[in-house]
Each structure stands twice: as C-alpha cells, then as structure tokens.
C-alpha cells in the first residue's frame, strides 16, 4: 500500500494508472475510519482496479475551531485498516499541501448549500466543495464513493461535478448503522452512557415519520410533528433541525406529501467528557404511496 503526501505525487500515480489501463476509485474521508468507511472502500473495489483513500481533516468545513480541534485523529489505526482492507493508495496531505500560503480560491454550490446543515454551519459546504474538487483534481479517479448519511454533502458533490463537467462518477451508498440502528459516525466515540442511549431518538424520529405515513398521514406538518415528538422524548438532545425536503433539489416539501420526501435530522448531545456537544445527523427518503380510494 502506497502512502502519498503531495498532490504532484498523487497525480503522477493517476497518470501511471491511466497509461496501464487501470480504472481508479477514490474514497474521500477525514479519517477515524469505521465500518461505514470500509463499506465505501468495498464498493470502490467492486467498481475499480485501484482504490485510493484520502485522509484529511479539512479545516475549511468546520465553523467552530473547538469542533475542529476535537475531531478524532487516528492515522496509525486508519492506515492499518486500509492496509487490511486491501486499499492500494492512501493520500495523507498536510493542510499546507491543500491550502498553500495565500490561498484564496473557493468553490461554492450556492442553492443546495443554503438549507439544513448549511443554515446551521455557515461556510461549511464552501469548504466541502473546495476540498472535494481539490481531491478529485489530485486523484483523478473515474469514480468516487460517498455515504448517504451526509445526504446534503452528497447532493452538493453531485451538483459540483455536474456543473464543472468533471469526468468522474459519483456513487452514494446507504447509511451503515450500529446494531441498535444509530448511524455510524466518527463523532459517536464522544458519546457514552445516557447520551449515547438518547442519541437513538434520531432513529426513533425516522421510524415515527414512517409510521405516520404508513397510517395514512400525508400532511407535511403532521408527519414532521411525529418526528419532532420522538426527538423531544430525549431530554439530553438539542434539536438543530428536522425538515422534510425534496430529495433532488432540497426545496421544502409541499404541504401535502405526494412523492419521495427526504426527512433530514440534526441534533446535539452532551460529550462524554463534558466539553461541549456532539452533533449528529441522520436522514431517510420516505416513500409516499398514493392511496387508492373506493377499494374494499
């Protein structure tokens, strides 16, 4: 397994792959790898001859310096996990390598970045769009694999690639979960005890919304109320947002739900060490079935 630290060296690897007729895939990560990341690696392997993983905690997508400082960094364990999974190449750039002195060139996907996490974390998706573009330029893959847990991020990346005409296929994989249903996240390590138990309110909110739809409810506000009530049952959870949106455009869902609808959630819970909060996100595309009237 190669460990590459510079853009120039990674581009040289990409050139060699193309000359040899090898199809390459990239899995962008911020490290602290878990089973969800490894599922992305496995999908990349199914789609390509060469699998590269990038590990870079991107400072440009953090709106709070404390959150950046607290983000788990486990490089040795991450490299071992990549090696065990058969990853061919790991890109581990420094901050200066991706953001050289005087850096001032930013990319922004304007409309998709506004709601949900974009409203709560100003500048977050500008940082995401910029670093993903830089990683794609550096690795030059034919395919890049992302998780659907970060649904808005995936939408932003797809729009970025489409708008700029980048020659890469973007693949999104379903959320990988813990045995009790909690979405796998590198941030979960900061939860313990009662806060970890109450984090399941997000899973409960998804189930409550689906249950409301299954019972025949089609009013947007009523379905949303069911989700919010599930989160309200967890007193340690501070709701950031619970919204119903169009899964393609992220526009607000209509008052009467009539088609696939994204339920997007974000909530904050106390860190185990008492130093602030852990922000968790989850989502599900709810399938709204049309009811047939007049049938026995």
Which domains are delineated in the chain? 2-173 (3.40.50.620), 186-286 (3.30.1300.10)
Known catalytic membership, residue 37: yes
Task: Give the pLDDT confidence score for residue 295 in this predicted structure.
Answer: 39
Task: Give the pLDDT confidence score for residue 241 in this predicted structure.
Answer: 98
8 with 125: CB under 8 angstroms? Answer: no
pTM of the model: 0.95
Residue 207 Cα to chain centre, angstroms:
20
The beta strands (E) that lie in 67-183 are given as 89-91, 143-147, 169-173
Task: Give the pLDDT confidence score for residue 291 in this predicted structure.
Answer: 57
Task: Give the pLDDT confidence score for residue 290 in this predicted structure.
Answer: 65
Residue 243 CA to residue 110 CA, distance in Å, equals 19
Please give the helix or strand (H or E) that residue 54 lies within, else none. Answer: strand 50-55
Task: Give the pLDDT confidence score for residue 258 in this predicted structure.
Answer: 95
Task: Give the pLDDT confidence score for residue 51 in this predicted structure.
Answer: 98
- Active site residue: 34, 37, 190, 290, which one? 37
Task: Give the pLDDT confidence score for residue 293 in this predicted structure.
Answer: 45
- pLDDT below 50 — which residues of the chain? 293-296
Task: Give the pLDDT confidence score for residue 66 in this predicted structure.
Answer: 83
pLDDT in tens, 94-107: 999 999 999 999 99
Looking only at the bridges linking them, the beta strands covering 261-270 and 238-245 are antiparallel
Angle 240-244-250 (CA atoms, 0-180°, nearest 5)?
Answer: 95
């Amino acid at each position: 397994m190669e460990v590459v630290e510079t853009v120039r060296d990674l581009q040289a690897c990409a050139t060699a792959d193309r000359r040899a007729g090898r199809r390459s895939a990239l899995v962008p990560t911020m490290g602290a790898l878990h089973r969800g990341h490894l599922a992305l690696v496995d999908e990349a392997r199914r789609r390509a001859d060469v699998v590269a993983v990038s590990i870079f905690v991107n400072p440009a997508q953090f709106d709070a310096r404390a959150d950046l400082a607290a983000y788990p960094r486990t490089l040795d364990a991450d490299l071992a996990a990549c090696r065990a999974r058969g990853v061919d190449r790991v890109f581990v750039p420094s901050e200066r390598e991706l953001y050289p002195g005087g850096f001032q060139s930013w990319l922004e996907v304007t409309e998709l970045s506004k709601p949900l996490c974009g409203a709560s974390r100003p500048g977050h998706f500008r940082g995401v769009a910029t670093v993903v573009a830089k990683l794609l330029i550096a690795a030059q893959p034919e395919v890049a694999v992302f998780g659907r847990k970060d649904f808005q991020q995936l939408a932003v990346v797809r729009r970025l690639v489409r708008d700029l005409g980048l020659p890469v296929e973007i693949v999104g994989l379903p959320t990988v979960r813990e045995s009790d249903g909690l979405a796998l996240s590198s941030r979960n390590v900061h939860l313990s005890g009662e806060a970890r138990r109450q984090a399941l309110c997000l899973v409960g909110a998804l189930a409550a919304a689906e249950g409301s739809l299954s019972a025949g409810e089609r009013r947007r506000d009523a379905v949303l109320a069911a989700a919010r009530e599930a989160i309200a049952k967890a007193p340690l959870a501070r709701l950031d947002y619970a919204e119903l949106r169009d899964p393609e455009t992220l526009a607000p869902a209509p008052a009467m739900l009539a088609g696939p609808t994204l339920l997007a959630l974000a909530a904050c819970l106390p860190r185990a060490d008492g130093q602030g909060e852990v922000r968790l996100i989850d989502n599900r595309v709810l399938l709204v079935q049309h009811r047939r009237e007049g049938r026995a």
